[in-house]
Amino acid sequence: MKERLQELTPKLVLSPSFFLILFFVYGFIVYTGYLSMTDSKMLPSYGWVGLDNYERLWKLPHWKRSLNNLAVFGILYIVVCTVLGLLAAILLDQKIRAEGLLRPIYLYPMALSFIVTGTAWKWFLDPGIGLENTIHQWGWETFSFDWIKNRNYAIYTVVIAAVWQSSGFVMAMFLAGLRGVDNEIIKAAQIDGASTVRIYRRIIIPLMRPVFLSAFVVLAHLAIKAYDLVIALTGGGPGQATELPATFMYSYTFTRNLMGIGASSAIIMLIMIFSIIIPYLYSELRGGKTQ
């Protein structure tokens, strides 16, 4: 009897979390999937319309725009954050005296909500009152930095602000990874006469593989959920130049009273997310087993 209990305990301990997630995450996903095939407008309603919402969704230029923007934003954001984070971590790992001061400076943006930091960025990027204006006043009259007002470049300003917010966190992850590298391996390489750059390229960075995975997971989820940032910085504009699927979905579900279309866009987003993450998770968890 006691043994049975002993055997059951772990599962009992895990089950509340598991069922909470099953219900509040997967249950709600199923529910959203159902809504996406109904004629819901302002509130959920249950008139079945099949795949109509999906058809209408794919006819909207607004939606295609959001997807394109996400592709540009997501790729740049993840790549730049990773590169910058790794670089900052390597630099900070060079016996820097002021490390204790610099580290929180790199990290703090993660602690701020974008409700207002967005305004600060908006002003800073604004050519009339921000950086461009200041540099003009310093005497460089031809300097131009008006990306936030330019519909072809505005999405990059979203990347700049987003990188600002999360690259410090990525830096911390890499720094932790670097500090965990076994010194023996490096010593051996140094004895073989390898240069520092070569040691980093051939030995240390490849050892960071798990950090790259964690960074990717964290960044990908932030990219897909990016909402506050866009709303605070550009409001989706100029025109619709910085609309992302998350802003699209919110707008259709809650402000345009087209909940059915909003739900169908949410389902497409989830399909995209899962189709990127599941294979990745699968291979990683598999790999973990064989080690």
Q: Work out the angle at residue 54's Cα, subtended by the Cα atoms of residues 242 and 39, and round it to the nearest 5 degrees.
A: 110
Q: How far, CA to CA in Å, does 231 sit from each of 60, 89, 109, 164, 237?
A: 20, 31, 18, 16, 9
Judged by CB, which is closer to another protein: 26, or 140?
Answer: 26
Nearer to another protein, 79 or 114 (CB): 114
Q: Please give the residues from 20 up to 39 whose contact with another protein meets the rule CB under 8 A.
A: 20-32, 34
Residue 226: which region, alpha, beta or left (left: phi > 0; alpha: psi -120 to 50)? beta
Closest distance of CB 50 from another protein, Å = 17
Q: Residue 134 and residue 49: Cα distance in Å, rounded?
A: 55
CB of 268 to another protein, least distance (A): 11
Asked if 136 is part of the footprint of another protein (rule: CB under 8 A), the reply reads no
Tell me if 187 contacts another protein by CB under 8 A.
yes
Q: How many CA atoms lie within 13 A of 239 on its CB side?
A: 12
- Which of 49, 67, 80, 131 touches another protein by CB under 8 A? 131
Residue 73 binds to another protein (criterion: CB under 8 A):
no
Identify the residue among 37, 70, 177, 229 touching another protein (CB under 8 A): 177
- The conformation of residue 202, written as its DSSP 8-state character, comes to I
Which residue's CB is nearer to another protein, number 75 or number 279? 279
Our finding on whether 269 is near another protein (CB under 8 A) is yes
Locate 183 and state its tokens.
Answer: 């010194």
* Residue 48 DSSP class: B
134 binds another protein (CB under 8 A): yes
Of 73 and 106, which has the nearer Cβ to another protein?
106
Q: Tokens 């390489």, residue?
A: 189
